[in-house]
Amino acid sequence: MVREIVKDVFFLQQKSVKATKADIAVAQDLLDTLAAHREGCVGLAANMIGEAKCIIAVNLGDRDVALLNPEIVKHSAKSYKTTEGCLSLTGERETERFETIEVKYRDMNFAKQKAKFSGFTAQIIQHEIDHCQGILI
């Protein structure tokens, strides 16, 4: 189900709680909402649809994936400065991102997964994980 995008900065600055198996429906709504914003949006965090749960949805180019309880377990020493926009905020802001990250998370079956991401995908994931921490760019 496509949900409305939250723009309340006070709400978005609250830290999200860990997702459980019962939150897979929230992850599905997040994927539906990401698909509805295909143009101009490459990732979403659950608090952006009003659910303060650690769930993110990311566009991988050819498909979207939902990551529940994503956690960066390793990252490259190298980072770079870039500018990012956000569907919940207006304008673009400068930020710093790691080139590659290794992330552990739960998939849509709530099974444990670990994967490496680099480049733009890694950037999106870092932006969305920040949302789970209540961090806005």
Residues in contact with Zn ion by the rule CB under 5 A: 86
Of residues 57 and 86, the one with the C-beta less far from Zn ion: 86
- In whole angstroms, the minimum distance from the beta carbon of 109 to Zn ion comes to 26
94 catalytically annotated: no
Q: Is the dihedral of CA 2, 49, 37, 8 positive or negative?
A: positive
- In whole angstroms, the minimum distance from the beta carbon of 94 to Zn ion comes to 14
Choose, from 4, 39, 102, 128, the residue flagged as catalytic.
Answer: 128
Of residues 19 and 86, the one with the C-beta less far from Zn ion: 86
- In whole angstroms, the minimum distance from the beta carbon of 89 to Zn ion comes to 7
Annotated active-site positions, please? 128
